[in-house]
Amino acid sequence: MKDFLKIMLASALGFIIASIIFSLIAMIFFFGAMGSMVGSLSSEKFTLQDNSVLNLRLNGPITERTPEEDPFTSLISPDIPTAMGLNDIVSAIRKAKNNEKINGIYLDSRMMSASMATLAEIRRELESFKESGKFIVSYADTYTQTGYYLASLADKVAINPEGNLDLHGLASTPIFFKDALDKLGIEMQIFKVGTYKSAVEPFTQNEMSEANREQVTSFLHDAWSFLRGDIAESRSLTPQDIDMLANQMPLMQTTDFLLSANLVDTLLYETEMKDYLRSLLDLDEDKKIPSATVANMKSVTMKTVKKTDNTIGILYAEGNIVSGSGSANIQDKYMVNQIEKLKDDEDIKAVVFRINSGGGSAYASEQIWKAITDLKAEKPVVVSMGDMAASGGYYIACNADKIVAQPTTLTGSIGIFGAIPNLEGLTKKIGVHTDVVKTNEFSDFGNITRPFNDQERQMLQKMIERGYDLFLTRCAEGRNMPKDSLSLYAEGRVWTGNQAREIGLVDELGGIEKAIEIAAEMANLGKSYVVFEYPKMRSRIDELLNPAKEDLAARTLKEYLGESYELFMILKDIKEQDYIQARIPFNLNIH
């Protein structure tokens, strides 16, 4: 007994000492990280040197906006490429164009991930930069198709002598789960309106419907015509040349082939490319090249119009539309609150509503639509569509005074659906049984362990049809189109921005700058206005102290999963949110 007590006391003491040591180590690590962050925050402000280049290194995902560097993600997963904000990239290029200390751009497009409309925004800024007479040179070991789309307009396109260049066109390869669900004993009960509303197909079919194949073929070819045309013009080729080259799979060809096809200008190693860059800057051999990154350019000020009471607010709405009050995705209560603040701010004379969303909850979309309607009654509202403003994303856009989209934006998809699982087959497979006692006929309505009966199906379908009719009405009134005419372009069909303009769903083609110009004109501001972005982005310290751990987890997961993140979040949202959805097809998987 005595030995037992000794052992117990020794073990307890050892546990206490180990806990104290572990806590001390954790505290040292935490405060060390804090010290590192505070040190970086208090470090010297970047100073732009004469005869500099903008080192436009594009690597990782590009989103609408990003907060300042996330300390947690960089500590936990330092190898994950950090997401870049489109607004920061555009701002850096614009500042470089107007700053006499910067003579050119060194474009280094690595394994970047960006959709077609985002690429169009960046390319337009690069074209504007070239108009200033400054140079753009591009280098890569491997050019992805998205990277090459931007690089093709450079004055000189260089590639590693043993490098690769991908140019293959566009394809959509959606994933279907029907057989997998059948094996699990799960049946998705679908209620929808719209021949082209294909969001439910992955759960009910093993291949595209003919209607879906028709719409995907149409918008892919239209989008490719713009991408192909831009590349051809930049490289002094024809669109037919680009198609012919894409059909030869340049990724598998030699760099001599790339040279002979005029896809690149020269073969250089990176050290040789830097020597070439020095020659453009008239620098001595081996002298360090003065440069600035996108992050550096945040601290470089521009000559701007003197601050006035005339402000244009840019309101960003990015992600899935869901019910809630948080800032992740587009949560209706949070977004309505932001819209009401803009409405009540007398200094804000017009609002650009920047939307990048494939939709989501029909109920949440209606709430945001109403808030935009109230805002529009007070001041001009111009929608700027990003990569996607479809289904619920179009719902919240349709009532704006003007709608601006990129030619390759995906929009429309006017339609709704309900998807409710029936797990009866699964429960039988695993030997789980349920029973029910109820007071009224529909007391157990929505029980996912049994299928809907005929009466329940009819009620749900009628509910979906009423929702579709409301969606159609909102769009017809917002676009000032007869409902019958609009219905020809609805039925859940997806259009490119270019196609949408031709049928009246969009007013103008262009990027966010075009939308700002229209908003300023509508508000009679002339050139005397300033632009502010909303909602305000949190600083690094705010991110560190922010109790909303889910937002941090979501950002980390997004950077880790890349393009698969959207599919993960869609499944999560449908599980947790409304069953009635106004959403574009689940995963277009365009590449």
Q: Are 412 and 390 in contact (CB under 8 A)?
A: yes
Provide long-range contacts, Cβ within 8 A and 24+ apart, for 276-280. Answer: 276/137, 276/156, 276/158, 277/53, 277/106, 277/137, 280/103, 280/104, 280/135, 280/137
Give the containing element (helix H, strand E) for 517.
helix 512-522
Q: Are 523 and 46 in contact (CB under 8 A)?
A: no
Q: Is the dihedral of CA 305, 307, 311, 315 positive or negative?
A: positive
Q: Kindly indicate whether the domain formed by 311-583 is annotated with CATH number 3.90.226.10.
A: yes
**DSSP structure class, residue 183:** H
Q: In CATH terms, are 52-168+249-297 and 311-583 the same topology?
A: yes
* pLDDT (0 to 100) of residue 326: 84
Q: For tokens 């004109």, name the residue.
A: 521
Q: Are 111 and 81 in contact (CB under 8 A)?
A: yes
| Fold that domain 52-168+249-297 belongs to in CATH | 2-enoyl-CoA Hydratase; Chain A, domain 1 (3.90.226)
Q: How far apart are CA 515 and CA 456, in angstroms?
A: 46
pLDDT tens digit at each of 591 positions of the chain: 445 444 444 444 454 555 555 455 544 444 454 444 444 444 457 889 999 999 999 988 899 998 765 555 555 555 566 789 999 999 999 999 999 999 999 999 888 888 999 999 999 999 999 999 999 999 999 999 999 999 999 999 999 999 999 999 999 988 898 999 999 899 989 888 888 888 888 889 999 999 999 999 999 999 999 999 999 999 999 999 999 999 999 999 999 999 999 999 999 999 999 999 999 999 998 899 999 999 999 888 876 545 467 899 999 999 999 998 888 889 999 999 999 999 999 999 999 999 999 998 889 999 999 999 999 999 999 999 999 999 999 999 999 999 999 999 999 999 988 888 899 998 888 898 889 999 998 888 888 899 999 999 999 999 999 999 999 999 999 999 999 999 999 989 999 999 999 999 999 999 999 999 999 999 999 888 999 999 987 655 555 555 444 555 555 555 555 555 555 555 555 554 565 666 665 556 666
Structure tokens at 491: 């039925």
Domain locations in the chain as residue ranges: 52-168+249-297, 311-583
SS3 493: coil
* pLDDT (0 to 100) of residue 537: 74
Through-space distance between the first and last CA atoms of the chain, rounded to whole angstroms: 72
pTM (whole model) above 0.85: no
Give the containing element (helix H, strand E) for 15.
helix 2-41
Q: Is 100 exposed, middle or buried (0-12, 13-18, 19+ CB in 10 A)?
A: exposed
- Given 391, 402, 413, 514, the catalytic residue: 391
Give the containing element (helix H, strand E) for 254.
none
Q: What is the CA radius of gyration of the chain?
A: 27
- Given 197, 349, 379, 558, the catalytic residue: 197
Q: Would residue 197 show up in a list of annotated catalytic residues for this protein?
A: yes
Decide the pairing of beta strands 291-292 and 52-63: parallel
Decide the pairing of beta strands 102-113 and 508-509: unpaired
Q: Would residue 298 show up in a list of annotated catalytic residues for this protein?
A: no
Of the candidates 272, 540, 242, 585, the one whose C-alpha atom is nearest the C-alpha of residue 412 is 585
